[in-house]
Amino acid sequence: MLWKVKLKGGWPVVDVNSNGYTFGFAFVACVLASLLLAGANLSLKDLQDRNVKTDKLRSVLVAAGFGTSTTPAQEVEEWFKEDIKVKVLETSTGLAAKDLSADEYDPKKHPNYTLIYECIKADQECSILPVEGKGLWGKMRGYVAVGNDNNSILGLCFYDHIETPGLGAEITEPWFMENFKDNKKILKVEGDYSEANFKGVTLLKGVKASDKPKEQQAYYVDGISGATLTCNGVTEVMTTFLYENYGKYLSNRQRGIK
Amino acid sequence: MSFSKSKEGQVLSKPLIGANPIMVQTLGVCSALAVTVQLKPAIVMSLCLTVVLTMSNVIMACIRNFIPGKIRIITYMLVISTLVALADQILKAYVYDISKTLSVFVGLIITNCIVMGRAEAFAMTNTPKMALLDGLGNGAGYSIVLLAVAFFRELFGSGKLLGTKVVPQALYDMGYVDNGLLMLAPGAFFIIGILIWVSNSLYKGER
């Protein structure tokens, strides 16, 4: 026996401080807790996955300005039936992948490819590009929508990040995202997609975008106080990342090569 | 004997000011710094913490006679983290929007000293009913301080309350500037310090 059993009125009296009982208690408690969590996770996984997927697609709409964070799931699906097409892009050439379909695409197996969205609805044409960058605590993933002139930014929406609430996490707040809807541009001179001409959008620290000269304001937005590292990550996304991954694509698109 | 004088009433009301978890017991200060830049996350955090604290207190009081003394602390951790993780799973499945804002708080709740502190100091030696009241009382005490700190930080740090601008533009035009220090963690230290000072001098003889 692991612990001594004394009987008192027919019931065993257990010494809760004996080693045997301690081990037994720890084992039972751990098994119970893990069963509970595993059970909850298994039974709720489908629902959770669906929520995550819808949320990701919703952020595509938010970036392009077609929806808000409260757009119902059904409306989100509607958009992706007709108006928004998915495309597998080979980032090095900026062209659509020939022998890879969106269903087969797996980010782990195909690091040189990425899934982008193009809206083909009349007068609302734009491309919505997945972006990722380094925040303070981890990766930030989101979408940037670029207008039909392949130069102006329509919006930026992050759907996955672990930044500090109230500071870095403000990147998903309406006031911050609104900054990117205010006629921002990525090229110094329209039509030239060389690295030197690719300016992107920079988040400012200590100065306001509205204090910059008028012709410069298209390339700057206000940063977030107390979230310098998060802002640096967003700047990186809106400058280097955009150029390296989508410079060729935007250039091709501008010249009519699809 | 009125309720407020009864033992139950005391357990519920004492943590509000007299034995406030943050101001007097100095527990849970970490989260009081982290989530008080604005009122909204502070409200959410207050609600979450109160729910988790009350549930963990009740569960702990129910099984208090079966927990081996040597591993009691780790048992608190197990119960608290299971509760929080379970709640997070359910939120993710049914109210995804809310869970997106809440998920970041989950880790903060598990490590919040108030939950463990109350389990050790109160729930282990009291009945589930008293533990329930103690959980609610301490949750409310924590919320009062959190909301007060968040109120001052958001108002003077960014001139807003609950995300709406309240400081009039005219004041800015006259040269008023938001206090950037309040947006950072040290700003919260100052406010908590002032709160402790005020409460100490107001309730000097009552402890």
ipTM: 0.72
In a domain, B16, yes or no: no
From B66, B96, B104, residue closest to A55, measured CB to CB: B96
User: How high does pLDDT run on average in chain B?
Assistant: 83
Asked if B170 is an interface residue toward chain A (Cβ–Cβ < 8 A), one would say no
Are A188 and A199 in contact by the 8 Å Cβ rule? The answer is yes
Residues of chain A with a CB closer than 8 angstroms to some CB in chain B: 16-17, 21-22, 25-26, 29-30, 33, 36-37, 40-41, 44, 47-48, 51-52, 54-55, 69-70, 162, 164-167, 169, 173, 175, 225-226
Rounded CA-CA distance A170/A247 in Å is 28
- Say which residue, B184 or B126, is predicted with more confidence: B126
Rounded CA-CA distance A74/B130 in Å is 47
| Residues of B with Cβ-Cβ distance to A52 under 8 angstroms | 96
| Residues of A with Cβ-Cβ distance to B159 under 8 angstroms | none
Residues 6+ away with beta carbon under 8 Å from A72: none
Q: Any idea which of A143-147, B34-38, B187-191 has the lowest mean pLDDT?
A: B34-38
Put simply, the answer to whether A16 touches B68 (Cβ < 8 Å) is yes
pLDDT at B56: 92
CB atoms closer than 10 angstroms to residue A9? 5
Residue B25's closest CA among B36, B33, B10, B15?
Answer: B15
CA distance A56 to chain B (A): 12
Rounded CA-CA distance B7/A169 in Å is 43
pLDDT at A12: 67
Residues 6+ away with beta carbon under 8 Å from B6: none
CB atoms closer than 10 angstroms to residue B169? 10
Rounded CA-CA distance A138/A169 in Å is 12
From B36, B89, B104, residue closest to A40, measured CB to CB: B89
Where in chain A are the domains? 50-254
Residue A128, beta-bridge partner list: A117, A145
CA distance B15 to chain A (A): 27
Share above pLDDT 90 across residues of chain A, in percent, rounded to a whole number: 49
From A16, A29, A165, residue closest to B104, measured CB to CB: A165
Rounded CA-CA distance A258/A88 in Å is 12
Asked if B71 is an interface residue toward chain A (Cβ–Cβ < 8 A), one would say yes
In a domain, B1, yes or no: no
Put simply, the answer to whether B37 touches A166 (Cβ < 8 Å) is yes
Provide the token pair at B97: 């929007």
pLDDT at A240: 93
Q: What's the domain count of chain B?
A: 1
CB atoms closer than 10 angstroms to residue A69? 17
Domain that holds residue B50: 21-192
Q: What is the DSSP letter of A99?
A: S
In a domain, B7, yes or no: no
Instruction: Please report which confidence band the pLDDT of residue A7 belongs to, taking 50, 70 and 90 as the band edges.
Output: low
Rounded CA-CA distance A64/A237 in Å is 17
Q: What is the mean pLDDT of residues B149-166?
A: 84
Asked if B70 is an interface residue toward chain A (Cβ–Cβ < 8 A), one would say yes
Q: What share of chain A is helix, strand, coil (3-state, %, to 5)?
A: 40, 25, 35
User: How high does pLDDT run on average in chain A?
Assistant: 88
pLDDT at A8: 67
- Say which residue, B153 or B4, is predicted with more confidence: B153
Put simply, the answer to whether B93 touches A33 (Cβ < 8 Å) is no
Are B65 and A19 in contact by the 8 Å Cβ rule? The answer is no
- Residue of chain B whose Cα is closest to the Cα of A49: B93
Asked if B105 is an interface residue toward chain A (Cβ–Cβ < 8 A), one would say yes
In a domain, B167, yes or no: yes
pLDDT at A5: 61
Residues 6+ away with beta carbon under 8 Å from B167: B155, B159, B160, B176, B178
Rounded CA-CA distance A155/A145 in Å is 5
Residue A62: burial class (beta carbons within 10 Å; 0-12, 13-18, 19+): buried
Provide the token pair at A133: 């960058």
pLDDT at A233: 95
Q: Is the pLDDT of residue A29 over 60?
A: yes
Q: Is the pLDDT of residue B180 over 70?
A: yes
CA distance A22 to chain B (A): 6
Rounded CA-CA distance B57/A168 in Å is 33
Residue A19's closest CA among A6, A32, A4, A29?
Answer: A4
Are B61 and B79 in contact by the 8 Å Cβ rule? The answer is no
Q: Is the pLDDT of residue B25 over 80?
A: no
Asked if B181 is an interface residue toward chain A (Cβ–Cβ < 8 A), one would say no
CA distance A15 to chain B (A): 9
Question: Using one digit for the tens of pLDDT, what is the confidence trace for B67-113?
Answer: 888 888 899 989 999 988 888 888 888 878 777 766 767 777 887 88
Q: Any idea which of A241-245, B4-8, B196-200 has the lowest mean pLDDT?
A: B4-8
Question: Using one digit for the tens of pLDDT, what is the confidence trace for A106-125?
Answer: 888 888 899 999 999 888 89
In a domain, B28, yes or no: yes
- The amino acid present at A180, given as its one-letter code, is F
Q: For every residue of B128-187, which 3-state class applies, written as one string?
A: HHHHHHHHHHHHHHHHHHHHHHHHHHHHHHHCEECCEECCCHHHHHCCCCCCHHHHCHHH
Residue A85, beta-bridge partner list: A118
Put simply, the answer to whether B41 touches A165 (Cβ < 8 Å) is yes
In a domain, B3, yes or no: no
From B69, B89, B94, residue closest to A17, measured CB to CB: B69
Provide the token pair at A103: 């269903």
Are B42 and B149 in contact by the 8 Å Cβ rule? The answer is yes
SS3 A107: coil
From A36, A166, A167, residue closest to B86, measured CB to CB: A36
Q: Is the pLDDT of residue A2 over 70?
A: no
CB pairs under 8 A between A and B: 82
In a domain, B199, yes or no: no
- Residue of chain A whose Cα is closest to the Cα of B150: A166
Q: Is the pLDDT of residue B205 over 70?
A: no
Which residue in A2, A3, A15, A22 has the most chain B C-beta atoms within 10 A of its own C-beta, making it the best mutation to test that interface? A22
Q: Is the pLDDT of residue A11 over 80?
A: no
SS3 B179: coil
Q: What are phi and psi of A38, to 5 degrees?
A: -65, -40
In a domain, B53, yes or no: yes
Question: Using one digit for the tens of pLDDT, what is the confidence trace for B144-154?
Answer: 898 999 898 88
- The amino acid present at A92, given as its one-letter code, is S
